[in-house]
Amino acid sequence: MTASDLRPSASALQVQWAGELLHLLPDRAIWWPAGRALFIADLHIGKAATYRALGQPVPGGTTQQNLARLDALIEEHVPERIVFLGDFLHAAQARTPQVLAALAAWRATHVATDMTLVRGNHDSRAGDPPAALGIEVVDEPYLLGPFACCHHPQTHATHFVLAGHLHPVCRLHGPGRDSVRLPCFVSDALQAVLPAFGEFTGGWLMERAPGTRFYAVGGQTVWALPASD
């Protein structure tokens, strides 16, 4: 680890979880410098393709957008490993020739990066990624250093949990009746939930509670919201 690894991106936020320094990234991912690892939850590759297969007129291009954002993170941080915290593919209908070809081309440019998928609920329906992608697929919890990598939020007897699944968002209130919903990271003493990485994924509004910290993502910045009483 070099001195540059200890400096977060200009708009990232440093936190200490499980005794480790982590960077909460505005691209809705976590960088762990000491472990040379990126954590990403709820990619949902092929969700738009799934809706189109069901006759819904939704725009295309989200798979390429997701992969381009992953490219940018890999170029910036040069991780040795990426851990996907569940829901890599959205559904069986996402396995179109176009989506699979885009994934194969993307993986071919990052053959030196180890990748692990912790199965989520959508993975059970969509099936594992094609074996040719070289992505290790495991069930939760997947232990990595002090972290239990999961899809579903939960607690672990010995490890701090990193999870996804909820697609958390928070609501910020402005003057009058103004408000805005933003994706967020949410943590307590035992676990943290990442926002959904994928485009076109929606979000679940989480209410703030004592002992829970929220870290909002907006304007290419991550910032900690005041703690609840």
**pLDDT one-digit tens code per residue, 30-53:** 999 999 999 999 998 876 555 445
pLDDT-derived band at 28, boundaries 50, 70, 90: very high
Encoded tokens for 126:
């969509």
**Architecture category of domain 3-224 in CATH:** 4-Layer Sandwich (3.60)
Encoded tokens for 107:
């993986």
Domain segments of the chain: what residues? 3-224
Which has more confidence, 122 or 7?
A: 122
Cis-peptide, bond into residue 195, ω within 30° of zero? no
**What is the torsional sign of CA 204, 185, 40, 70?**
positive
Q: Say what the pLDDT of residue 82 is.
A: 98
The Cβ of residue 54 has, within 10 Å, a number of other Cβ atoms equal to: 10
User: Looking at 122-126, 148-152, 172-176, which range is the least confident one?
Assistant: 172-176
Token pair 């040795």 in the structure block, residue: 80
pTM for the model = 0.90
Strand, coil or helix: 181:
strand
